Amino acid sequence: MPSPTYTPLVASLPSTVPFVGPETQERANGATFAARLGANESVFGPSPKAIAAMTEAAAEVWKYCDPENHDLRVALAEHHGVRPANIMVGEGIDGMFGYLNRMIVEEGVTVATSAGAYPTFNFHVAGFGGRLVTAPFVDDKEDPDSLIDLAKREGASLIYIANPDNPMGSWHQADVMENMIEAVPEGALLCLDEAYIDFAPDGVAPKIDVTDTRVIRFRTFSKAYGMAGARVGYAIAHEDLATAFNKVRNHFGVNRVAQAGALAALADQDYLREVKAKVAASRDLIGQIAAENGLKAMPSATNFVTIDCGSDGVFAKKVLDGLIARNIFVRMPFVAPQNRCIRVGTGEPEDMGLFAEALPAALADARGG
Amino acid sequence: MPSPTYTPLVASLPSTVPFVGPETQERANGATFAARLGANESVFGPSPKAIAAMTEAAAEVWKYCDPENHDLRVALAEHHGVRPANIMVGEGIDGMFGYLNRMIVEEGVTVATSAGAYPTFNFHVAGFGGRLVTAPFVDDKEDPDSLIDLAKREGASLIYIANPDNPMGSWHQADVMENMIEAVPEGALLCLDEAYIDFAPDGVAPKIDVTDTRVIRFRTFSKAYGMAGARVGYAIAHEDLATAFNKVRNHFGVNRVAQAGALAALADQDYLREVKAKVAASRDLIGQIAAENGLKAMPSATNFVTIDCGSDGVFAKKVLDGLIARNIFVRMPFVAPQNRCIRVGTGEPEDMGLFAEALPAALADARGG
């Protein structure tokens, strides 16, 4: 019995998953993680007002969502000082990266990113047959100059950068990013991933200019707003580009309950400030725990801290495995030299206590093993 | 300032929406619909146990979903007597149609469907550059023989059919569908949309044989399970095909709260039976209301009833407009001759009362206008 006829591109792709979920590891380990610090989630959760809004909306889940995401787009436009036509809402940044790549990438199209930057973006580049070219991190930062040079040299149509960065937690000031936008080669588009921008100090986000067709920026309710499981991300862009998502997107794709939750979360900026303060305190604590163990925590403008384990990727992987074995869910960068580090999410004091308890043993194992 | 460089295919696509949402109409009308009967949603809502599960899960929405949808796939596999590897869960059937088309369709690939069948499927065919060929409905049914003949004649790689059908509510018995599967041309795949199968009498669903690589069937929590806003659909297919979605899908795309809700909804088959009984009673009531107005309701194996307005598409559109103007949200088929009808969702007795009240006036307007 013959199989379906896949496109040559899809036939050539592996069946893959960009990230193995912690639930998969839990099933394999036969134990639930005691601290869930590996996926850059916000253990502080969403605003209670968002939870209340979701609870209320759950009873109305028999209704499809508003495919225009109208109310949320109006609120986001107000929040950012742009027009609703400049906002496109989608099923998380991951889903929107799929749409963006689909709009621009096909076989023969080149995309530039940093070696070790966000793998789900790369998954979508490959998924549409693009040629991915990479520049190394410089000083543990995605490097705008390297990326622009690379894009020019290789003729890239799309350039990816995250500011602040994942997995290193590093960042550039707004003027560096504004200069990068100015340097985008003609016909190319800068995909500026600002998933972590809410955690960054003032002066890191470049100013929003929606008349500029050279950049599209992505924001999310998954990080500071504590709603990773809701799948609500959005793009801010020139109206033409924001509207172009309508050519390809799953119009009814955003969960209705999530729409209500995101709207309420956005309205509760006081709660967001509380979360940011808790994240900052937890970052300091992770730095302190690292130092107590003779390790160096990298500066971070995100809700995680990347810890330099002081050796190579093999050693860091042993430390990681030691933490996983002690039911602490963390992850690590996957490209050298960043993979000398482990990446630890901020959390409640209990989470930090569990991490502090497990780290010395994991290090001892790694050194002894 | 230059625009981004879209692929030629995407540049050629219109910015569109397969369906205008009722919220858009409400904003335009400046009034909320009194009865929401146009999107084949289930006004009966989900199981209270599903609402409770979603309420509980809302507090944990800071966690990403399990990208494997493991627990739900295990439960669905048990429910259908297949293995979890035969189940793929996605962001509603709409989202999964996008993935399926992406796997099979590119420029030069032909897809067969019925003229006036589900437009979102066609949106995805066009979105991946496919050539869509259509066979007419026969006796207000999507016609398996016509579709198979068309697919053979035109060399289609993908064939779409819904059983029961939307927008007519018609259906074929299982043996007709089983014969259709047997007749699928070599190298082609039958996309069997069973979104409404839970409302159909016994003997309508062809037997599930996951060793058969010629068919993929789609089910949903949007209809009988009353969770349209949750975005949870799934495919049942040969393991190779179900797994192939991992090449292209948004792995973390399903809302975590929705996963929990779907799991609880599936477990409450008693509630599903209650909904089916309410839907059947409401179908009868719509038939009665139609008859009282001199119109003929089509037989239905779905949660809506399509009413033949007895004339052409222009007349039916006037009736539709008259209902919309009276704050009754309904829709209609969009291709002749099916567009002589309006499509009315089942609902609570209050909904039916509102519809019964509005219909005579809408008909009078249509006849007089």
CATH of the domain at B274: 3.90.1150.10
How far is B158 from B185, CA to CA, in rounded Å?
Answer: 10
**Tens of pLDDT along A338-363?**
999 999 999 999 999 999 999 999 99
Those residues of chain B that have pLDDT short of 50 are none
The CA distance from B172 to the nearest CA of chain A, in Å, is 24
Chain B contact set for A45 (CB, 8 A): 59-62
**Tens of pLDDT along A151-196?**
999 999 999 999 999 999 999 999 999 999 999 999 999 999 999 9
The residues, ordered by sequence, that sit 6+ positions from A13 with a Cβ below 8 Å of its Cβ are: A126, A127, B247, B248
Shared domain for A106 and A186, answered yes or no, is: yes
Shared domain for B36 and B93, answered yes or no, is: no
Confidence at residue B249, expressed as pLDDT on a 0 to 100 scale: 96
Chain A contact set for B24 (CB, 8 A): 66-68, 70
> Which band of pLDDT confidence, cut at 50, 70 and 90, is reported for residue A18?
confident
Asked whether residue A212 is assigned to any structural domain, the reply reads: yes
Shared domain for B263 and B354, answered yes or no, is: no
Asked whether residue A39 is assigned to any structural domain, the reply reads: yes
Confidence at residue B4, expressed as pLDDT on a 0 to 100 scale: 84
Confidence at residue A317, expressed as pLDDT on a 0 to 100 scale: 98
Shared domain for B75 and B41, answered yes or no, is: no
Asked whether residue A216 is assigned to any structural domain, the reply reads: yes
Please give the average per-residue pLDDT across A231-241, as a whole number: 98
How far are the Cα atoms of A225, A236, B100, B300 from residue A242, in angstroms, in the given order?
22, 7, 25, 40
pLDDT averaged over chain A?
96
* CB nearest to B231's CB, from A106, A212, A255: A255
Asked whether residue B204 is assigned to any structural domain, the reply reads: yes
175-234 in chain B: CB under 8 A from chain A:
186-189, 211-214, 216, 222, 226-231
Mutation to test the B interface, candidates A110, A257, A303, most B Cβ within 10 Å: A257
The CA distance from A208 to the nearest CA of chain B, in Å, is 16
Shared domain for A112 and A250, answered yes or no, is: yes
Contact present, B236 and B87 (Cβ < 8 Å): yes
> Burial letters for B99-132: b for 16+ Cβ neighbours within 10 Å, e otherwise?
bbbbbbbbeebbbbbbebbbbbbbbbbbbbbbbb
Instruction: Examine the pLDDT at A3 and tell me if it is beyond 70.
Output: no
Chain B contact set for A93 (CB, 8 A): none
Interchain contact A156–B (C-beta under 8 A): no
Shared domain for B361 and B262, answered yes or no, is: no
Please give the average per-residue pLDDT across A277-300, as a whole number: 98
* CB contact (8 A) between residue B7 and residue A230: no
pTM for the structure as a whole:
0.97
**CA A105 to centroid of chain Cα atoms:** 21
Shared domain for A54 and A176, answered yes or no, is: yes
Give percent of chain A above pLDDT 70: 99
Q: How many CB atoms lie within 10 A of CB A18?
A: 16
The CA distance from A310 to the nearest CA of chain B, in Å, is 30
Asked whether residue A4 is assigned to any structural domain, the reply reads: no
Asked whether residue B37 is assigned to any structural domain, the reply reads: yes
How far are the Cα atoms of A33, A34, A131, A187, B366 from residue A107, in angstroms, in the given order?
41, 44, 7, 17, 53
Confidence at residue A59, expressed as pLDDT on a 0 to 100 scale: 92
- Our count of domains for chain A comes to 2
> Which band of pLDDT confidence, cut at 50, 70 and 90, is reported for residue A214?
very high
Shared domain for A236 and A285, answered yes or no, is: no
Asked whether residue A235 is assigned to any structural domain, the reply reads: yes
Residue span of the structural domain in which A330 resides: 16-45+270-368
Domain boundary among A226, A247, A267: A267
Q: How many CB atoms lie within 10 A of CB B155?
A: 14
Run of H or E residues at A251: none
Please give the average per-residue pLDDT across A253-269, as a whole number: 98
Domain boundary among A233, A267, A301: A267
Q: Which two tokens stand for residue A37?
A: 């610090």
**Tens of pLDDT along B275-312?**
999 999 999 999 999 999 999 999 999 999 999 999 99
CATH of the domain at B185: 3.40.640.10
Contact present, A41 and A345 (Cβ < 8 Å): yes
Confidence at residue A15, expressed as pLDDT on a 0 to 100 scale: 87
Instruction: Report DSSP state, residue B90.
Output: E
Domain boundary among A267, A282, A311: A267
* CB nearest to B45's CB, from A59, A211, A252: A59
Shared domain for B146 and B263, answered yes or no, is: yes
Chain B contact set for A90 (CB, 8 A): none
- List the one residue out of A221, A292, A309, A290 whose CA is nearest residue A261: A221
Q: At what angle do helices B256-267 and B48-58 cross, to 10 degrees?
A: 150
Shared domain for B113 and B258, answered yes or no, is: yes
* CB contact (8 A) between residue A46 and residue B39: no
Please give the average per-residue pLDDT across A215-236, as a whole number: 98
Instruction: Examine the pLDDT at A19 and tell me if it is beyond 90.
Output: no
Asked whether residue B6 is assigned to any structural domain, the reply reads: no
**CA A157 to centroid of chain Cα atoms:** 21
> Which band of pLDDT confidence, cut at 50, 70 and 90, is reported for residue A199?
very high
Q: Which two tokens stand for residue B237?
A: 């297919």
Strands A215-220 and A35-36: unpaired
Shared domain for B227 and B321, answered yes or no, is: no
Shared domain for B101 and B207, answered yes or no, is: yes
Confidence at residue A2, expressed as pLDDT on a 0 to 100 scale: 57
